[in-house]
Amino acid sequence: MVTRTIQRSLIVLLAFVVSGLLPGRAPVYAASRFSNDRITGSAIYRERIALTPAAVFEATLEDASRADAAAKVIKKVRRKNPGQVPIAFEIPYDPRRIDSRGTYVLRASIYEDGRLRFTSTRAYPVLTHGHGSKVMVVMRGTSGDAGRGRARAHALAPHPHRKT
């Protein structure tokens, strides 16, 4: 009987230690990989261009709270061969790094063969100031599009039938 009481007491004590709820101690939060805190969304672009298997999708959660400094990356996720749009994504994050007074934004890009192919042209607010954790990101093609560089160079080259 005494042994059973001691076992129960140890189990309760262990539960308090693990949860961080001992008197006088602040709760201990699990690391982000164990947290359910995440941003979910999808990314699209309007151009009618298929991605190749070499494509890499990248989404970034950034702290944009300071107007006098570049946004600080909180978390970045990369996905090789993401398939075609819409591209679903999720970004798990550590809630301890989020200040409710701060401003947090999400940006997305697609690279192909190391070249930037599509990118979001604006920052999408998330998490604070009434913004949630779900987002739809619209990206636009960049000058790094396959073939576009050659077409532009061709357009700028002198035409054999034009007088210059």
Among 37, 30, 118, 104, which residue's Cα sits nearest to residue 71? 104
Residue with tokens 């090789």: 80
Residue 66 has pLDDT above 60, yes or no: yes
At 152 the three-state DSSP class reads helix
Residue burial 61-95, b: 16+ Cβ < 10 Å; e: rest: bbbbeeeeeebeebbebeeeebeebebebebbbee
pLDDT in tens, 104-161: 999 999 999 999 999 999 999 999 999 999 999 999 999 754 444 433 333 333 433 3
Per-residue pLDDT at 11: 54
Tell me which H or E stretch contains 3. Answer: helix 2-19
* Domain covering 38-141: architecture: Sandwich (2.60)
135 and 106 Cβ atoms separated by less than 8 Å: yes
pLDDT in tens, 13-64: 444 444 444 343 333 333 334 568 999 999 999 999 999 999 999 999 999 9
Per-residue pLDDT at 35: 60
Pairing of strands 38-45, 134-141: parallel
Among 84, 153, 98, which residue's Cα sits nearest to residue 131? 98
| Cα–Cα dist 118/4, whole Å | 63
75 and 92 Cβ atoms separated by less than 8 Å: yes
- Which phi and psi (to 5°) does residue 150 adopt? -65, -40
**What are the structural domain ranges in the chain?**
38-141
